[in-house]
Structure 1
Amino acid sequence: MRQISLRSTRARLAAIGAALLTALTVSVIGAVGASASPQGCLVDYKVTSEWNGGFVADVRVTNLGAPIDGWELEWAFSSGQKVSHGWLANITSSGADVTAKSYSYNSRIGTDKKTSFGFAGSWSGANEAPEAFKLNGVTCDGTVSDPENLTAIETVEAMEPGWNVGNTLDAIPDETSWGNPLISAELLDTIKAEGYKSIRLPVSWSDYIGEGPDYTIDQARLDRVTEVVDMAIERGLYVLLNVHHDSWQWIRYMPTDHDGVVAKFDAVWTQIAENFKDHSELLVLESNNEPQFEGTTVEEGDAYNDELNRLFHEIVRGTGGKNADRLLVLPTLHTNADQARLDALDATIAALDDDMIAATVHFYGWWPFSVNNAGGTTYDENVEADIVGTFDRVGATFVDNEIPVIIGEWGVLNYDHNRPGVHQYGELLKFYESVEWHARDTGGIAMQIWDAGQFLNRETLEWRDQTIFDYFKSGWTTRSGTTSFDSIYLDKSEAIGAESLTLNRNGLEFEGLWDGDTELAEGTDYTVEGDTLTLTASALTRLSGDRSYGVNSTIEARFSAGLPWQIHIITYDRPVLSDTTGTIESFAVPTQFTGDRIATMESVYSDDGTPTGGDWTPFKEYWTAFQPDYDAGSVILKPDMLNGIEDGRTATLTFHFWGGGEITYQITRSGSSLTGTAL
């Protein structure tokens, strides 16, 4: 283990009176939020009245640090308590998790000033006080933090969770070129209010760099980037600033234009570093996004990446000011997390001998699942192994040696609000839940979700899918339980029988099933044996109602913490595909879906079974090769996929449905014309 000198953390402990140390009182001190000043707080939780099944609690918050404007207190009940209503704060609950937010009239708390709120709730069995609180997303752990004196590990932990302002200042050529509006104070206020502690600000500088030898950055561009950085810092957000698409626009040519690329890289980073050298420690700098070098082996790429990372470090540190000990972030080649890439970066960091450095990689999961290709339709052992392996490697290589890690981008590659169905919804939620858990379990990691507009609608400042964001937010503090699948498909042509799912408890207690506000009866409606959850035929008959095609009802599996897991009861018949004709540019298979949904599709030549298009797998990429249109009743086959079928040959397509199994279909190509035949 490399020995690294750690900076001391400025801390102040508040005295806690003996009167507060009762069974019904919890007092804790902690950071209120990231800003340029020391922050800390005292939380006093006290049950003031209690009776059989009900109680009233008072919560008092004392600000021990710099004044704050806007607060959010989070905690989790450990013994099943529920908040019924509150006062002097907007209190919401999700399972065991509770959040209390300030109103406009009590959002400001001065130094050594107090605010308080209360609520009424219910309990059964026990009424234990919460074990810990988070105020504005920071764990109340008995310390008062100051960004000026944080270690690298502490800085990165203060940046968790993080959010990418993707496809904006990195868009080419302009900030709005890729469909997002200008970054505004309202956007950053929203991100802050939702609990994010940092933003990653990708910036593409290429179109704003003048000719050599000076490579002067356009002043208006530098001013705009500075404006956004300042807006974020004013709100107490950490900012990770980088050079982004420059990596493939000009840095990639370093093997054939070594001196030219190095001179340009030097000039660009010198100007950025000089511009920001006196900025708050909340600004963090990242060398290069997804480094790549044309025409090289991975070992040669490692060497070029090492050279640029060292140059970046030398430039920034050499500008002085707060850059002398600002946190610097160095990427692996391609921001890849394979062990060889981690080892190469580890060698760079060891040689620099600087205790304010973090490593960065990106994580988009097991590729077949991330894009829905090669049959990767579910959260299976391959997806799990990829997650576990990645966090085990970065933990052992870096975090265990006091080098923090920033997952600068994470998510799944083909998820987009404009491409519904690419990922089965429940399997997608399992992925998000598991990734955040393994990051928290590893420690010393900040996760920064990649959002190019697919999660937060930048126009309305609302989440496009509230459930997905709820899983993000819940994952910052706790696990959520799931089942082996989120749907039970009932064949309309058959009598309804009992159906079973496997409980994935994720360390939690299973608390039962609910249909809206009605709790289902164990023994009558369902049984649990070990991890097998079985819904009875009578319950499914009731839940399927008139058995119309599609989702008949949705029930919830609830656990002792985290979010409830939705299970959809779906009626379907075997889908029917019909004959048709078309062209390579326009071909759609008429389809009666009858309540079912497509999971994936295979395409092979009928005569020899080899994949069409010369692909390594018969499974085609969802949305890129095919796209179901459930409203129109068709499956659209895309030109790129159809062009892969050789002229004069016939391909057999196998559509895999979530409920109805496999259905085959044939396509014969003649020039640009196609004939489709149902089998």
Structure 2
Amino acid sequence: MTIRSRWRAGLTVGAAAVLLAGGLAVASSAQAAAGCRVTYAVPSQWNSGFTANIAVTNLGDAIDGWTLTWSFPGSQSVTQAWNATVTQSGAAVTARNASYNAALGTGASVSFGFNGSWSGSNPSPATFSLNGTTCTGSTNPTSPAPTGTGGPSPTPTATPRPGGDAMAAVAAMQPGWNLGNSFDAVGADETAWGNPRVTEALLDNVRAQGFNSIRIPVTWSNHHGPAPAYTIDPAWLARVQEVVGWALDDGFYVMINIHHDSWQWINTMPADRAGVTARYNALWTQLAAAFRDAPAKLTFESVNEPQFTGSSGDAQNAELLNELNTSFHRIVRASGGGNATRLLVLPTLHTSAEQARIDELTATFAALNDPNLIATVHFYGYWPFSVNVAGGTRFDATTQQDLIDQFDRVHRAFVAKGIPVIIGEYGLLGFDRHTGTIQQGEKLKFFEFLGYYAKLRNITTMLWDNGQHLGRTSFVWSDPELWAQIRSSWTVRSGTASSDQIYVPRTGAITAKSLTLNLNGTTFQGLTGADYTLNGNTLTLSAETVTRLVGNRAYGINATLQARFSTGVPWRIDVITYDPPLLANATGTTAAFAVPTQFRGDQLATMEAKYADGSFAGPHNWTAFKEFDVTFAPDYAGNRIVLKPEFFAEVTDGARVTLTFHFWSGTTVTYHVTRSGTSVTGTVA
């Protein structure tokens, strides 16, 4: 069976509705000819959300500036819009032109779209008004049309072609998911990095989670022949085609690329420009031919995280990446068929959102002058927070501003000018070790804000998942709380708090405990599991309530509460009994050393390391705070804190290092370690 037998023509839709209406009023004169045609389409709908596209064709005299209004007949809300500024008050919706599409000549059309949420049902609006006049479907040369005379026309049989409007198509891709560490694995096949073979059931389950697009990274290095043909292994190509076909059958927008080739051989382009270019062009020539007749929902990404080794600097890097991107564009467009208008994704250098990198890609877009191009960057957060180093334990103002700045830069450079942007990968770099590198509540706040701000800036996001999030065979999320927060952020905001933990000492008097609520535009609805008082945004549990919650004050979590808000997911609050952790003396080696630790209900946040003179010890010697999971890691089950070989590799032989362990209760405990050759001695301070 060939792959074409699996591809379906057009869009696969969960629900579709198309409404034709007419009527257009002009702002300048009541005597001017007025009339228009409005098409309202719902090409995609899922459990609680939908995508709508609206096209307006001017049948009357030219206008400069337009406002379209309508009312939703059901419980529907606009959550993200493109090509127009859309606001909503109750059921009433107003869409105003963007700066670049205000003028509508006679016979001209404008299109815009939005993502929305719904409950109960999702009926189409019955009438539209443009510039204050109700649409009628006919031209009126003398006066505005009377209110309420419009109505739905028969539904056309065809749905809009994906890719016909790049902004609309990319918005419809939201949200997206990465099939990571499978076809991009460097090795013999898709199982080389520990994941099982991809199945139709996996893709079905990903689609059922609400994802509308899937990025399938592919590394081709080990799957093609030598120069000059660089013939792709037919079996490997057929397997990629098979999985792409399954994804298209599921209704996904699909993105494929050239992935880890970027650091395996493309990075040598400064020294071997002709050889790298020939190999790269040969691969894309074959891929363009293989997927030439695929549906328009398949998109191509030129290269993942492009990088160059040994270049002369930024100028040459920009020149080389521009050559790759333009060669890719030329090859795909010249192959014809669906590739003549297929959506193509071009990255910045390193897929970075730095302004200089954005400016370089902007120049390439301007030179290509192709409306079916998409810009892409990756986002893994503010680095100290993303890996938990340099004291970056919290989603604080600095971490939030870093996200805002990066999203704002790509919005200004591309989205505001009608060029769509996909964050092709997002997450936290600490996830490469495990998701506990970043404390749970701080992690949830990061993903809540990321989803909100991406929606605000009309940016489509694709979650990086190398198998650590959704089980490839169990189809179960490893962190359901994180998944609930991510999914909720696609449509609404959630309230959070200054912490998801309340620590209560094991001994001594119990006092009242307070947290600061972050409403994030929601309203507080109450606290499940305890009495409370609320003063402004300060939530307080009385000493009496805390006493009841901790019970016999056993170490660890004694009670779990939920703060509920008007939208989004509840905020979990653990009430924890603790005592300051107790550390003990120890001996070991630089290859295997651990501090015996009675955690006594507390959890480790970070670790400082300093020499006697106050200078910083260990890796990253520009900061006292070492990298979590790389230089140290708590082992709660084993009652120890492990100091890793990577830490001692950069500790001065014979020097005593003072470690300060910071715990989430606010407790700090100091400890001394001394390295003597490969031997290590640890003592309680």
TM-score normalised by the chain length of structure 1: 0.79
Aligned to 2:42: 30
SS in structure 2 opposite 1:415? helix
Cα offset for 1:77?
Answer: 14
1:186-207 Cα deviation digits (max 9, x unpaired): 0010011111001000000000
CA contact (8 A) 1:573 1:660 kept: no
The structure 2 residue matched to 1:176, chosen from 179, 182, 191, is: 191
Aligned to 2:533: 527
Distance change >3 Å, CA 678–CA 267, structure 1 → 2 = same
Tell me which amino acid in the other structure corresponds to 1:313.
H
1:133 matches 2:149: no
SS in structure 2 opposite 1:589? strand
1:425 matches 2:410: no
1:618 matches 2:630: no
Q: Distance in 2 between matches of 1:292 and 1:255?
A: 10
Q: Distance in 1 between matches of 2:117 and 2:625?
A: 48
Q: Distance in 1 between matches of 2:43 and 2:431?
A: 35
The structure 1 residue matched to 2:416, chosen from 397, 400, 403, is: 400
Cα offset for 1:446?
Answer: 1.4
Tell me which amino acid in the other structure corresponds to 1:378.
R
Q: Distance in 1 between matches of 2:195 and 2:346?
A: 28
SS in structure 1 opposite 2:376? strand
1:555 matches 2:561: yes
Aligned to 1:110: none
Pairs within 5 Å for 1:525-674: 525-613=531-619, 615-674=621-680
Aligned to 1:233: 248
SS in structure 2 opposite 1:456? coil
Tell me which amino acid in the other structure corresponds to 1:323.
N
Aligned to 2:497: 483
Q: Distance in 2 between matches of 1:355 and 1:499?
A: 56
Aligned to 2:181: 167
Cα offset for 1:458?
Answer: 0.6
Cα offset for 1:611?
Answer: 2.8
Aligned to 1:255: 270
SS in structure 2 opposite 1:478? coil
Cα offset for 1:76?
Answer: 8.2
Cα offset for 1:40?
Answer: 8.7
The structure 2 residue matched to 1:332, chosen from 320, 339, 348, is: 348
CA contact (8 A) 2:163 2:297 kept: no
Cα offset for 1:133?
Answer: 2.0
CA contact (8 A) 2:619 2:646 kept: no
Cα offset for 1:401?
Answer: 0.4
Q: Distance in 2 between matches of 1:322 and 1:551?
A: 57
The structure 2 residue matched to 1:157, chosen from 152, 171, 175, is: 171
Q: Distance in 1 between matches of 2:516 and 2:316?
A: 47
Cα offset for 1:141?
Answer: 7.8
Cα offset for 1:230?
Answer: 0.6
Cα offset for 1:613?
Answer: 4.2
CA contact (8 A) 1:133 1:139 kept: no
Pairs within 5 Å for 1:295-334: 295-296=310-311, 297-334=313-350
Cα offset for 1:146?
Answer: 2.5
The structure 1 residue matched to 2:373, chosen from 357, 374, 396, is: 357
Distance change >3 Å, CA 528–CA 640, structure 1 → 2 = same
Distance change >3 Å, CA 535–CA 76, structure 1 → 2 = farther
Structure 1 unaligned segments of length 5 or more: list them.
1-9, 16-27, 42-72, 79-130
Tell me which amino acid in the other structure corresponds to 1:450.
W
Cα offset for 1:608?
Answer: 4.2
Q: Distance in 2 between matches of 1:336 and 1:209?
A: 29
Tell me which amino acid in the other structure corresponds to 1:642.
F
Distance change >3 Å, CA 462–CA 567, structure 1 → 2 = same
Tell me which amino acid in the other structure corresponds to 1:537.
A
1:274 matches 2:289: yes
Q: Which moved more, 1:350-359 or 1:208-217?
A: 208-217
Pairs within 5 Å for 1:68-79: none
Q: Distance in 1 between matches of 2:210 and 2:315?
A: 40
Q: Distance in 2 between matches of 1:551 and 1:255?
A: 56
Cα offset for 1:563?
Answer: 0.3
Distance change >3 Å, CA 40–CA 605, structure 1 → 2 = closer
1:198 matches 2:204: no
The structure 2 residue matched to 1:441, chosen from 420, 444, 456, is: 456
Give the CA RMSD over aligned residues. Answer: 2.6
Tell me which amino acid in the other structure corresponds to 2:564.
R
SS in structure 1 opposite 2:430? coil
Q: Distance in 2 between matches of 1:532 and 1:634?
A: 36
Distance change >3 Å, CA 402–CA 11, structure 1 → 2 = farther
Q: Distance in 2 between matches of 1:513 and 1:139?
A: 35
Distance change >3 Å, CA 132–CA 480, structure 1 → 2 = closer
Q: Distance in 2 between matches of 1:155 and 1:618?
A: 47
CA contact (8 A) 2:163 2:372 kept: no
Cα offset for 1:299?
Answer: 2.9
Distance change >3 Å, CA 421–CA 477, structure 1 → 2 = same
Q: Distance in 1 between matches of 2:375 and 2:41?
A: 30
The structure 1 residue matched to 2:388, chosen from 372, 382, 386, is: 372
TM-score normalised by the chain length of structure 2: 0.79
The structure 1 residue matched to 2:203, chosen from 175, 188, 197, is: 188
Distance change >3 Å, CA 526–CA 178, structure 1 → 2 = same
Q: Distance in 2 between matches of 1:678 and 1:257?
A: 56
CA contact (8 A) 1:132 1:140 kept: no
Q: Distance in 2 between matches of 1:589 and 1:655?
A: 11
Aligned to 2:26: none
Tell me which amino acid in the other structure corresponds to 1:511.
Q
The structure 1 residue matched to 2:473, chosen from 437, 459, 466, is: 459
Distance change >3 Å, CA 560–CA 135, structure 1 → 2 = closer
Cα offset for 1:75?
Answer: 6.7
Tell me which amino acid in the other structure corresponds to 2:369.
D
Q: Distance in 1 between matches of 2:439 and 2:279?
A: 45
CA contact (8 A) 1:601 1:620 kept: yes
Distance change >3 Å, CA 632–CA 606, structure 1 → 2 = same
1:286-339 Cα deviation digits (max 9, x unpaired): 000000000222332122111110111001001000000000000000000011
1:170-224 Cα deviation digits (max 9, x unpaired): 0011200111111110001001111100100000000012111111111111111
Q: Distance in 2 between matches of 1:330 and 1:135?
A: 40
CA contact (8 A) 1:612 1:651 kept: no
SS in structure 2 opposite 1:208? coil
CA contact (8 A) 1:29 1:141 kept: no
Structure 2 unaligned segments of length 5 or more: list them.
1-15, 22-39, 54-73, 80-115, 127-154
Tell me which amino acid in the other structure corresponds to 2:279.
K
Distance change >3 Å, CA 75–CA 638, structure 1 → 2 = farther
CA contact (8 A) 1:576 1:592 kept: yes
SS in structure 2 opposite 1:303? helix
Tell me which amino acid in the other structure corresponds to 2:494.
S
CA contact (8 A) 1:359 1:405 kept: yes
Cα offset for 1:415?
Answer: 1.8
Percent of pairs identical after alignment?
49
CA contact (8 A) 1:32 1:135 kept: no
Q: Distance in 2 between matches of 1:493 and 1:280?
A: 67
**What is the number of equivalent residue pairs in this alignment?**
562
Q: Distance in 2 between matches of 1:40 and 1:603?
A: 55
Tell me which amino acid in the other structure corresponds to 1:243.
I
Q: Distance in 2 between matches of 1:175 and 1:406?
A: 25
Tell me which amino acid in the other structure corresponds to 1:133.
W
